[in-house]
A and B are shown apart, each in its own frame.
Chain A
Amino acid sequence: MITISVDMDACENYGQCCFEAEVLFRLDDDGKLVFTAQAPDDRLADIEAAADACPMQAISLMES
């Protein structure tokens, strides 16, 4: 499993992660980020791409 965490103080809800890892990251009706904290290993490339793309560099991930 991959554990995703987002520094919500840094997050500015730009939504760039939502393109890279759809479903896992999304903006809600108010435009605020919601994300899934645990993801299967086969989403690693998407999650890394989401972390790469974040303008605020607020996304971190841990493989376990």
Chain B
Amino acid sequence: MFKSVALIRESIVGMVGLALIVFWVFVAVFADVIAPFPPNATIMPMALPGMEGPDGEVFWLGTDHIGRDILSRIIHGSRRVLIFAPLATFCAYAVGIPMGLAAGYRRGTTDDVLSFIANIILSFPVLVLYVIIIATLGASAINILVAVTFASAPGIFRIVRGLALDLRNREYVFAAETRGESPWRIMMIEILPNARGPLIVDACLRLGYVIITIGVLGFLGLGLPPPDPDWGGMINETRSMATSFPHMTIFPVIAISSLILGFNLLADGLREVSLRD
């Protein structure tokens, strides 16, 4: 699989995806340098894209209803997405992987109980689950992490469980069992590294979904609290004006779509090259 990560250069689709991701990571890292204005400064309300401000500065993407530069907010908003989405995905994996390994390797009652729990959570339509959790617990960064972990871990559990069920019958696992290794050592050192291929592809796709989720929550008004820029929240705040000032909503939408597209294309490219060898 690491070979295929290097092979990604051979997949045009994958490279386009990678380029999009690298672009946004670059923007997020150098946000302070690139952004022409501070993200929360109110300068001139309702400026259209390309309009000049009071001191001759240009609002390339216009400003929003309270006069904040949209370009600067998008640039700074990329930080939030690129910190929260990987963090939430990581938490979901940290919960899903051990459970999946345990269910797939030990089987029996462990598997039955964990699979049943996973199936229950998966029977909820995802967004219904998010809305109920966030509305009950309140919208905050930590609750969003909890909600994403809770809703995504069962999916990861299923994939890991399936992989572990297959890998537990390999000779290197028998060898480790004969050596007398502890079950957790076998799961983490023998099985997990050999399951990495499909998991890397899944992680890319899942990052895309988590970005959508964070965006949707922001859009529904259940996201991270203002005033710091959040792409979903930017759309929510200005969507009532979208029919007269579409620039306020359309640019954040393009930003979030391009990032999700990046992860999906990269996942597709990785899958393509990993099937090849």
Please say whether chains A and B are actual partners in one complex.
no
A residues whose Cβ falls under 8 Å from a Cβ of B: none
B residues whose Cβ falls under 8 Å from a Cβ of A: none
